[in-house]
Chain A
Amino acid sequence: GAGVSQSPSNKVTEKGKDVELRCDPISGHTALYWYRQSLGQGLEFLIYFQGNSAPDKSGLPSDRFSAERTGGSVSTLTIQRTQQEDSAVYLCASRYGGGPDTQYFGPGTRLTVL
């Protein structure tokens, strides 16, 4: 079946602009995660959605970052007033259940802030 998809694959933006990154999880997966992969920070958790529960936003680095998940499926990560330190690969992952099942990762969106 189809895996996790993300769009765009690459995004170049100017400092101060807003960007939206999209994630389509595997159909039927109830859990969705966003992570960020950067040279300086490695792989770090950003936000987690599980079913209809309130999201775990504990990893968001600032209030410029927000995410939503509509209809329990597609998710959008929004970064407002982008800064150069936001440059990274943003990864989305989905998981079937609420336990320690495997998370399946999308190919990522490479964000470059000039």
Chain B
Amino acid sequence: GNSVTQMEGPVTLSEEAFLTINCTYTATGYPSLFWYVQYPGEGLQLLLKATKADDKGSNKGFEATYRKETTSFHLEKGSVQVSDSAVYFCALCTPAAGNKLTFGGGTRVLVKP
């Protein structure tokens, strides 16, 4: 079956620091990969996605590259802001599973001024 493993939080860092959140997966078939973000008091929203190997998704200064050889999709941002404080979820879907999302456990990130 499909599964996603991401680093546990919370991750606490200072403004302008570099952020990495590791995500690895196992999947039956060829998955599409996603990062969703949940800001405090808000719903889940898509941050970025990649649908094939070596694709790089990017949005709001965040990037993640689909690495098939290491089955990974690590999220990075070079210089975080207080407004990036949120819970980040790595997820995947596969056609064989009806394209339903399988989520990692979420990583809470707290950025301090």
Contacts and interface: CB of A to CB of B under 8 A. Distances in A.
Interface stretch (B14-22, B38-46, B66-74): B38-46
Contact of B99 (A42, A44, A91, A98): A98
Given A42-B106, A100-B93, A105 B99 contact: no
A106 B102 contact: no
Contacts of B43: 91, 105-108
A57 B43 CA distance: 24
A31 B97 CA distance: 13
Interface of A: 31, 33, 35, 42-45, 48, 50, 56, 59, 91, 93, 95, 98-100, 102-108
Interface of B: 32, 34, 36, 42-46, 49, 51, 89, 91, 93, 95, 98-106
Contacts of A44: 103
A68 B103 CA distance: 24
Nearest to B2: A45
Contacts of A95: 99
Contacts of A105: 36, 43-45
Contacts of A100: 32, 51, 93, 95, 99
A32 to B, nearest CB: 11
A98 B95 CA distance: 9
A98 B75 CA distance: 26
A43 B106 contact: yes
A45 B49 contact: no
Given A91-B44, A105-B45, 20 more contacts: A42-B103, A42-B104, A43-B91, A44-B103, A48-B98, A48-B100, A50-B98, A59-B100, A93-B101, A99-B95, A99-B99, A100-B32, A100-B93, A100-B95, A102-B34, A103-B101, A105-B43, A106-B43, A107-B43, A108-B43
A45 B100 contact: yes
